[in-house]
């Protein structure tokens, strides 16, 4: 489907009407959470132009509703209306309410974030969870949407999550798994990528998730990036771009908004933007040649969202996080690159911007060009800060109207797409696609291309924390007819975050299940990369080790002096 259509002419008309007398201020005595001029609930009309419909809806919203629509927080609890005592306490601290549904009503929010706690590069800012299972997520999203429909705007909520697959996967259990993005880069088959992300999008849509904070459009530098790693498709923008475009097509074809991140590119950094402000030291020419092309490819593919990164782009706006930079978000992203959809900030609870305080960071983010503010660390503070800035004139009303109109346009566009049935989740057809994706990513960078890589009785070992994967591979090898025991080849598995200290010097085969960089230090006769630790990746690895399948993948990033493939 196409990208969000330009709404500047409509916005200008709306802005003039508002400036002519529709102040949107609440009448005396009107409580927060209630509209001074509530209209009938609105929904997407089949065949209607979402942008024009959105402008009409936004024109009648009061200030409190306009402010709420640009906020997309997190709430405690695995249900919209029935939560535990601990979740009630968390929501009271978060926003003075008991439940997620009450949070939606009080702050008129535009959306809600789902997250599951895990040990990944984003864990420092995701300390809790409202995700347990597909069925639970479906109940939660249904309850949230019911609450959202009661707001004056009467439009669906945006419900988003970071479902990148690989190390950053919020909904882990019960969905057909995929390799990390770098695995698709290794497979080098955009048609496979589109099919796999179409499958992923259908499953998310069935659960009620209508925005995925993916795909990662960052291009990795030659040194890699610890916080991005296998989350990126590779280091060559000419190869990354088609992968990003394919993921966008797959997700949005299934009814889930794709989000290009982290603009203008987190791949040439060494610092982690969760805890400090990374510096992009390359020239503007280098940025345009290496970092921006995959974002442009995603935009040209019709991506409905772009996520702004907390990154210091020295060549364009030194010292200012890109997420708060008008030059980058308005002049470059919209002006130069032609993006007309929703710009969403990276999480505002991350240190590089949270340090400004809840009101200032929120106002600066909208003024810079963000239309949707993700995970404000102090929701009441952000809400009040935006409202105060709107009333004082610091935040011009036409700019807020523009942002909300883009958000509502996206909501109406998504609402026109039928929701898949839950029976599609983890279906046999989806597992088959996931298996093909896993098999396509397996890469032999050293060793024989035909016949078994592991001979004699095979002993499987693993670095700490990967014992479950070890046991999984043992069973997969047995299914391939491989004898397991001492006295033959040793296959050693390495996982997320492992380095040279985790290698086994006597291993006949060393397997990197996550980032392949550690293979540069390995001395094994055979070296393999799988870019995933799923059951499908394990089965594909076992088939290659047993000599029953070829390894079609090629390294999408440089790894020491190793070739892209030995085959």
* Paired strand residues for 374: 72
CA distance 1 to 303: 9
Whether 274 is catalytic is yes
**Which of these, 385, 361, 387, 391, lies nearest to 374 by C-alpha position?**
361
CA distance 192 to 190: 5
Whether 346 is catalytic is yes
pLDDT by residue for the chain (567 residues), tens only, comes to: 333 333 333 333 333 333 333 333 332 222 333 333 333 334 556 668 999 999 999 999 999 999 999 999 999 999 999 999 999 999 999 999 999 999 999 999 999 999 985 444 554 555 568 999 999 999 999 999 999 999 999 999 999 999 999 989 999 899 999 999 999 999 999 999 999 999 999 999 999 999 999 999 999 998 777 789 999 999 999 999 999 999 999 999 999 999 999 999 999 887 666 677 888 989 999 999 999 999 999 999 999 999 999 999 999 999 999 999 999 999 999 999 999 999 999 999 987 788 899 999 999 999 999 999 999 999 999 999 999 999 999 999 999 999 999 999 999 999 999 999 999 999 999 999 999 999 999 999 999 999 999 888 999 999 999 999 999 999 999 999 999 998 889 999 999 989 999 999 999 999 999 999 999 999 999 999 999 999 999 999 999 999 999 999 999 999 999 999 999
CA distance 5 to 20: 26
**Which of these, 28, 22, 60, 78, lies nearest to 151 by C-alpha position?**
60
Query: What does the DSSP assignment read for 284-331?
Result: HHHIIIIIHHHHHHHHHTT-SEEEEP--EETTTSTTSBGGG-HIIIII
Q: Where are the alpha helices (DSSP H) in 442-491?
A: 467-479
What pTM did the predictor assign?
Answer: 0.90
**Which of these, 122, 230, 101, lies nearest to 170 by C-alpha position?**
122
Using CA atoms, how far residue 534 sits from 96, 472, 539, 552, in Å, is 40, 9, 9, 18
- Cα within 13 Å of Cα(452), Cβ side: 17
Q: Position of tokens 């798994």?
A: 177
Contact present, 281 and 226 (Cβ < 8 Å):
no
Contact present, 408 and 21 (Cβ < 8 Å):
no
* Domain regions of the chain by residue span: 8-424, 442-545
CA angle 332, 338, 343 (to 5 degrees): 70
Contact present, 555 and 186 (Cβ < 8 Å):
yes
* 520 burial type by CB count under 10 A (0-12 exposed, 13-18 middle, 19+ buried): middle
Contact present, 472 and 538 (Cβ < 8 Å):
yes
Residue 492 per-residue DSSP state: E
Q: Which two tokens stand for residue 535?
A: 């059951």
Q: Beta 305-308 vs 257-263: how paired, if at all?
A: parallel
The answer to whether domain 442-545 has CATH 3.40.630 is no
**Choice among 312, 346, 498, 502 that is catalytic:** 346
Helix 237-253 with 292-300: angle, nearest 10 deg: 30
Task: Output the CATH code of domain 8-424.
Answer: 3.20.20.300
Q: Please, which residues have CB within 8 angstroms of residue 249's CB and are 6 or more apart in sequence? A: 194, 197, 198, 301, 302
**Choice among 262, 274, 430, 492 that is catalytic:** 274
């Amino acid at each position: 489907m196409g990208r969000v259509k330009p709404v500047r002419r409509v916005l200008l008309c709306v802005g003039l009407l508002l400036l002519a007398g529709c102040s949107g201020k609440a009448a005396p005595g009107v409580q927060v959470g209630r509209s001074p001029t509530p209209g009938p609930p609105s929904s997407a009309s089949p065949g209607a132009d979402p942008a024009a419909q959105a402008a009409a809806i936004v024109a009648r919203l009061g200030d409190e509703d306009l402010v709420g629509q640009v906020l997309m927080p997190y709430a405690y609890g695995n249900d919209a209306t029935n939560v535990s005592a601990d979740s009630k306490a968390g929501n009271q601290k978060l926003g003075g309410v008991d439940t997620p549904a009450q949070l939606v009503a009080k702050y008129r929010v535009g959306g809600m974030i789902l997250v599951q706690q895990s040990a990944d590069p984003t864990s420092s800012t995701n300390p809790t969870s409202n995700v347990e299972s597909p069925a639970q997520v479906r109940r939660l999203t249904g309850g949230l949407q019911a609450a959202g429909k009661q707001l004056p705007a009467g439009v669906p909520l945006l419900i988003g999550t970071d479902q990148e697959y690989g190390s950053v996967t919020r909904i882990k259990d019960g969905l057909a798994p995929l390799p990390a993005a770098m695995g698709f880069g290794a497979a080098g088959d955009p048609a496979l990528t589109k099919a796999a992300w179409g499958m992923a999008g259908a499953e998310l849509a069935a659960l009620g998730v209508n925005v995925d904070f993916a795909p990662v459009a960052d291009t990795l530098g030659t040194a890699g990036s610890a916080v991005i790693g296998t989350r990126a498709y590779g280091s060559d923008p000419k190869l990354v771009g088609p992968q990003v475009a394919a993921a966008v097509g797959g997700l949005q074809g299934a009814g889930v908004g794709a989000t290009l991140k982290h603009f203008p590119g987190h791949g040439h950094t060494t610092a982690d933007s969760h805890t400090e402000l990374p510096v992009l030291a390359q020239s503007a020419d280098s940025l345009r040649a290496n970092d921006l092309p995959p974002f442009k490819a995603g935009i040209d593919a019709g991506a409905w969202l772009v996520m702004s990164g907390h990154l210091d782009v020295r060549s364009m706006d030194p010292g200012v996080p890109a997420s708060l930079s008008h030059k980058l978000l308005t002049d470059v992203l919209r002006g130069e690159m032609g993006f007309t959809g929703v710009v969403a900030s990276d999480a505002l609870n991350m240190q590089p911007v949270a340090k400004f305080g809840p009101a200032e960071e929120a106002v600066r983010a909208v003024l810079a060009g963000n239309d949707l503010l993700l995970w404000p660390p102090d929701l009441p503070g952000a809400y009040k800060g935006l409202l105060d800035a709107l009333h004082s004139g610091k935040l011009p009303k036409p700019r807020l109207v523009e942002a909300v109109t883009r958000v509502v346009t996206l909501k109406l566009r998504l609402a026109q797409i039928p929701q898949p049935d839950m029976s599609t989740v983890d279906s046999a057809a989806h597992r088959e696609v996931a298996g093909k994706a896993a098999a396509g990513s397996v890469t032999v960078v050293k060793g024989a291309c035909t016949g078994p890589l592991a001979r004699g009785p095979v002993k499987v070992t693993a670095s700490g924390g990967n014992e479950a994967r070890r046991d999984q591979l043992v069973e997969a090898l047995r299914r391939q007819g491989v004898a397991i025991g001492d006295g033959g080849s040793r296959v050693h598995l390495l996982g997320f975050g492992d380095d040279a200290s985790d290698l086994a010097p006597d291993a006949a085969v060393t397997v990197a299940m996550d980032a392949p960089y550690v293979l540069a230090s390995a001395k094994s006769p055979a070296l393999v990369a799988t870019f995933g630790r799923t059951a499908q990746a394990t089965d594909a690895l076992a088939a290659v080790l047993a000599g029953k399948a070829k390894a079609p993948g090629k390294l999408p990033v440089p790894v020491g002096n190793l070739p892209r493939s030995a085959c």
